[in-house]
Amino acid sequence: MNEKLYDKLMLHRPSQQQPEWHLFLQLCEWYLEKHKIEKPIVVELGCLRSKQRRFYEQLFGAEYISIDIRPNGNPTILGNSHDPNVMKSLKKKLRGRLIDILFIDAGHLYHEVKRDFEYYAPLCNGIIAVHDIEQPVKVRCDVKFFWHELKEWSQRPRSKYGDALFISLHQYRYQTWERRVGIGVIIQR
Amino acid sequence: MNIELFNELMTPKPFQFRPEWQLFLELCEMYLIKHKIENPIVVELGCWRNRQKKFYEQILNAEHYGIDISASHSPDILGNTHDPKVMNSLKKKLKGRQIDILFIDASHDYGDVKKDFELYSPLCDRIIAFHDIESYRYLKGKKTRVWKFWDELKRNVNKGVEGYRHLMLVSLHQHRGGNMGIGMVIKE
């Protein structure tokens, strides 16, 4: 990875923990090189201030589409990720192409992240990442339960994700308000 | 990573599940490049026919030491990993240097893995890997409980226990075809 560019982009302080984010991007780059994907399509559900956009665009030359319910991050598609109109807008932009990297970071309650996964994962044939798989429940975050469930599902006979590689990246964080973050990564092929 | 060489080395098959093993080596290589380590020292506890040796030596250009209790696995150091004599032999070979990659894959009992970690991790200041962190997780009554130690390690990181705060944990796992899983603790 272009480390100088990465360091420069980090000055904009994305909503990501440095070591996990760095390793996640390295994994993405490894995957894209392995499959010779030159202009990947990246979709981010829940983009906060859209600070991750420049990483995908400048490091990978990606076509980036963000979806968020809040307008302050200037998302490509404004709306709830569960809204059928939002899905329609995304499909229009995709024009039948599949997503290479899907980053799920919208609603953090169990049913929200589960629905996001069920809606959007079929549109992706590459990497599916789930953010905050280690966040404590007390901050209204159930992502870790969904992540564990997903891993268990992959063990069932005929599971669609039986051949997928599950990777979790996690480091302790000092700031008390978001001590644990963690990125769960599923590489489908 | 040199994929052609990797594919060539895959015969005879190492005791590793290909997708996890390949990504593990890729991550090791990324790490070594980042930290400009040209000749890493790799120590493998439980080396099963020493078939991983050639991967470390040829792909990562490593100095590799396999330790195993069974002579049939042709280890570099023969003996129980908990035996002080084995530790002494290893220390002689290390000559005061630190291990860059420690791969723990000897006895899979919870207590044994824990002891291996406690004994050998102070000798390694880079990557510590555990094999079989997912094996038998959902099967009760099996003695293989590396997953239990891995989960404990994760809890310590989550709680920010002294000595665990700077650790980055990476787990690699694919169910179909192996259900083994590799856990990596990256210290730096």
CATH number for B3-186: choose from 3.40.50.150, 3.10.129.10, 3.90.480.20, 3.40.640.10. Answer: 3.40.50.150
DSSP H helical ranges for chain A: 3-10, 18-34, 53-60, 84-94, 110-120, 143-153
Q: Is B41 exposed, middle or buried (0-12, 13-18, 19+ CB in 10 A)?
A: buried
SS3 A158: coil
**pLDDT, chain A, mean:** 88
Q: Check residue B157 and give its pLDDT.
A: 80
- Write down the pLDDT at residue A137: 61
State how far residue A103 is from chain B, nearest Cα, in angstroms.
18
Give me the residue from B168, B174, B179 closest to A164, CB to CB. B174
* Cβ contact B23–A152 (<8 Å): no
Tell me if B176 and A163 make a contact (CB, 8 A cut-off).
yes
Helix (H, G, I), strand (E, B) or coil at A38: coil
Tell me the whole-structure pTM to 2 decimals. 0.86
Residue in chain A lying closest to B3 (CA):
A34
pLDDT tier at A48 (50, 70, 90 boundaries)?
confident
Question: What average pLDDT score do residues A128-134 get?
Answer: 91
- pLDDT exceeding 70 applies to what percent of chain A? 93
Q: 3-class DSSP state for residue A54?
A: helix
pLDDT of the residue at A63: 97
pLDDT at position B139, please? 63
**Alpha-carbon span A184 to A133, nearest angstrom:** 6
pLDDT at site A174 = 55
Classify domain A3-187 at the CATH topology level: Rossmann fold (3.40.50)
Give the start-to-end residue ranges of the domains of chain B.
Answer: 3-186
Q: Which residues of chain B have pLDDT under 50?
A: none
If pLDDT is split at 50, 70 and 90, which confidence band does A148 have?
confident
As for the ipTM of the complex, it is 0.81
pLDDT digits (tens, 9 = 90+) for B93-146: 999 999 999 999 998 899 999 999 999 999 999 999 999 898 777 666 667 788
A169 contacts on B by Cβ (under 8 Å): 168-170
Looking at per-residue pLDDT, the higher value among A177 and A91 belongs to A91
Q: Tell me the H-state helices in A95-189.
A: 110-120, 143-153
At B142 the pLDDT is 67
